[in-house]
């Protein structure tokens, strides 16, 4: 049954493809909150569920984050290289500064660096001048470490009233701070007067769910991710469909007890000839060419 004006959101895809798959690897490790970095207290996002308000340093949580760089990153890099697929790496600039080998690996594999801020901190608390310096500093840092100026942006949790305009003024082509759709769309800032593409993100398929809920198992995550992909494939038609995001974190999916689930998901995707795996920048550019602002 058709419902006029209530069509399923879809975009034009390469010939024969029914869904665009965007793999997003978050790199936050080494830039999270810590009194050692001048913050008022410890990082509240902690798999050990230990948070004490005050100027205390949580060495245990910091070491758990370091696991993402030491062991998680090599696993994720190797798996993506094995399947020959591109990913968008949303990197906190300070984290990449501390791990130049990872920066070089991202570039050598032809992946896309995306800005996740200068640090993985609460941008929404900043005034306009602080936020502008934060956005500009992040872009400059990532360009130094990778040789590529990031075109996309992801905030930690939420925008401010100024973020969209500042991103436009700083030359960004898209941002990901939106969860409202399965396809890209244009948004225009009323003050800047210029448009920017919004590349919606999806939190339901994000591996962070296995941190915030210890009862949510890798097997459940895998089943959910496959079901999401297969349903979008069924909804699409050859050359037209939606976009699925798979959000990953090195310290989360990089653990052996979870990593196997990602490997299984990639095996499933490899068997699907109707899935277009692309960076967010590639998907953004295809959309912008087809749907001018």
pLDDT of residue 7: 85
Query: Which CATH code of 3.40.50.1360, 3.20.20.370, 3.30.70.100, 1.10.20.10 fits the domain covering 11-290?
Result: 3.20.20.370
Q: Please state, as a whole number, how many other Cβ atoms lie within 10 Å of the Cβ of residue 186.
A: 14
- Determine the Cα–Cα distance for residues 156 and 101; give it in Å rounded to an integer: 24
pLDDT of residue 1: 59
- Determine the Cα–Cα distance for residues 56 and 22; give it in Å rounded to an integer: 38
């399947």: which residue's tokens? 83
Condensed to tens digits (0 to 9), the pLDDT of residues 154-172 reads 999 989 999 999 999 999 9
Span between the terminal Cα atoms of the chain, in Å: 31
- Determine the Cα–Cα distance for residues 278 and 35; give it in Å rounded to an integer: 38
Condensed to tens digits (0 to 9), the pLDDT of residues 234-279 reads 999 999 999 999 999 999 999 999 999 999 999 999 999 999 999 9
Query: Domain ranges in the chain?
Result: 11-290
pLDDT of residue 98: 95
Reported pTM: 0.96
Q: Residues in the chain with pLDDT < 70? A: 1
């Amino acid at each position: 049954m058709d419902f006029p004006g209530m069509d399923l959101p879809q975009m034009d895809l390469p010939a024969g493809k029914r869904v665009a798959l965007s793999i997003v690897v978050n790199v936050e490790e080494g830039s999270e909150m810590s009194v050692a970095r001048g913050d008022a207290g410890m990082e509240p996002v902690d798999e050990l569920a230990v948070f004490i308000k005050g100027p205390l340093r949580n060495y245990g949580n910091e070491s758990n984050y370091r696991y993402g760089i030491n062991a998680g990153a090599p696993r994720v890099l190797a798996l993506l290289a094995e399947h020959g697929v591109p990913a968008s790496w949303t990197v906190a600039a300070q984290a990449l500064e501390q791990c130049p080998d990872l920066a070089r690996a991202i570039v050598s594999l032809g992946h896309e660096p995306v800005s996740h801020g200068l640090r993985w901190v609460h941008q929404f608390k900043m005034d306009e001048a602080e936020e502008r310096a934060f956005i500009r500093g992040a872009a400059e840092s990532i360009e130094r470490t990778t040789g590529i100026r990031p075109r996309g942006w992801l905030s930690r949790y939420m925008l401010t009233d100024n973020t969209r305009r500042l991103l436009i003024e700083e030359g960004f082509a898209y941002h990901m701070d939106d969860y409202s759709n399965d396809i890209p769309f244009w948004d225009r800032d009323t003050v800047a007067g210029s448009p920017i593409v919004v590349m919606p993100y999806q939190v339901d398929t994000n591996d962070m769910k296995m941190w915030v809920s210890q009862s949510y198992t890798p097997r459940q995550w895998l089943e959910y991710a496959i079901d999401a992909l297969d349903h979008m494939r069924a909804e699409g038609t050859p050359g037209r469909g939606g976009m699925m995001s798979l959000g990953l974190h090195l310290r989360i999916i990089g653990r052996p007890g979870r990593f196997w689930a990602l490997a299984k998901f990639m095996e499933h995707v490899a068997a699907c000839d109707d899935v277009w795996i692309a960076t967010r920048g590639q998907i953004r550019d295809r959309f912008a060419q087809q749907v001018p602002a």
